[in-house]
């Protein structure tokens, strides 16, 4: 699950226990996921299971800040990020990559079998980035189009299957430090409280700042977002900001 603080858990465990490498690349995990689906499911159900969540609205903000450079007008993107994040979002909004003759953009259009008109250099639709509102329109579009939804904004219900797996523990990024200490003690995993302090920050203050991103959004877009993420919010006890439905 992406953008819910799970990397903080893995990093903490690696540092404290002096373990190198990525848990996602471990041989045991690779061997498991290569087995038939029913064996994977049955094995997973036999383990202690926990998942990490955060408020769906702040998760979207985190994704925009990280994967979409928070809307900054920078041409310095890795090719993989361009093709995975920026280019699809541009097309969702009827926009075109500013370097429209670049090989990366042309390769993406060819790979996705997409035809785009060549625009005049000063056309406003030529862009290096997308705004937060445009990013959210793209998010909504990925759900409504019936195609593949990116793991960074897919719903918890779709990717973690909480109705199929009976999770033993639910950790929240809003209470990360407390949850980390509890879980590590529960499973006798060596821990260092000072290490968790480094990842704590001003969590509640950050949540409040993240909610401000939604203040200027049109009502129609807010309604679509709520329809997508309302089950996640209800399932894990998250409420909308008090002024969410206010419009400018």
Residue 235 dihedral angles phi and psi, to the nearest 5°: -65, -35
Residue 41 dihedral angles phi and psi, to the nearest 5°: -65, -45
pLDDT, residue 10, reads 64
5-14, 21-30, 79-88, 119-128: the lowest-pLDDT one: 5-14
pLDDT, residue 195, reads 55
pLDDT, residue 38, reads 87
d(CA 31, CA 62): 32
Quick one: pLDDT band at residue 162, thresholds 50, 70, 90? confident
3-state secondary structure of 126: strand
Bigger pLDDT: 101 vs 5:
101
Burial class (CB in 10 A: 0-12, 13-18, 19+), 21: exposed
What Å distances lie between residue 76 and 109, 194, 234, CA to CA?
19, 35, 39
d(CA 27, CA 88): 33
3-state secondary structure of 169: strand
pTM of the model: 0.82
Quick one: pLDDT band at residue 243, thresholds 50, 70, 90? very high
Query: How much is the average pLDDT of 114-142?
Result: 96
Beta partners for 50?
Answer: 169
Share of the chain above pLDDT 90, in %: 51
What Å distances lie between residue 136 and 59, 82, 197, 245, CA to CA?
12, 17, 32, 16
Bigger pLDDT: 123 vs 46:
123
14-23, 26-35, 91-100, 178-187: the lowest-pLDDT one: 14-23
Bigger pLDDT: 21 vs 170:
170
pLDDT, residue 198, reads 46
pLDDT, residue 71, reads 84
Helix axes 193-200, 176-186, angle to 10 degrees: 150
């Amino acid at each position: 699950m992406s953008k819910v603080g799970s990397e903080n858990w893995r990093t903490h465990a690696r540092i404290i226990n002096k373990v190198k490498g990525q848990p996602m690349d471990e041989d045991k995990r690779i061997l498991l996921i290569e087995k038939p689906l029913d064996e994977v499911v049955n094995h997973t159900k036999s383990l202690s299971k926990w998942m990490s969540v955060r408020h769906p609205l702040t998760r979207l903000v985190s994704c925009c800040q990280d994967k979409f450079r928070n809307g900054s007008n920078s041409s310095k993107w890795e090719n993989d990020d361009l093709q995975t994040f920026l280019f699809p979002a541009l097309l969702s909004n009827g926009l075109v990559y500013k370097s429209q003759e670049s090989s990366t953009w042309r390769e993406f259009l060819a790979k996705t079998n997409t035809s785009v008109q060549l625009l005049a250099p000063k056309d406003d639709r030529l862009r290096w980035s997308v705004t937060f509102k445009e990013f959210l329109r793209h998010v909504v579009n990925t759900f409504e189009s019936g195609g593949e939804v990116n793991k960074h904004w897919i719903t918890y219900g779709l990717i973690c299957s909480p109705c199929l797996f009976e999770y033993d523990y639910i950790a929240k990024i809003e209470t990360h430090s407390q949850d980390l200490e509890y879980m590590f003690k529960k499973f006798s995993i060596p821990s260092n409280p000072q290490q968790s302090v480094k990842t704590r920050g001003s969590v509640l203050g950050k949540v409040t700042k993240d909610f401000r991103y939604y203040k200027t959004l049109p009502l129609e877009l807010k309604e679509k977002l709520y329809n997508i993420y309302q089950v996640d919010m209800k399932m894990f006890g998250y409420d909308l900001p008090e002024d969410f439905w206010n419009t400018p």
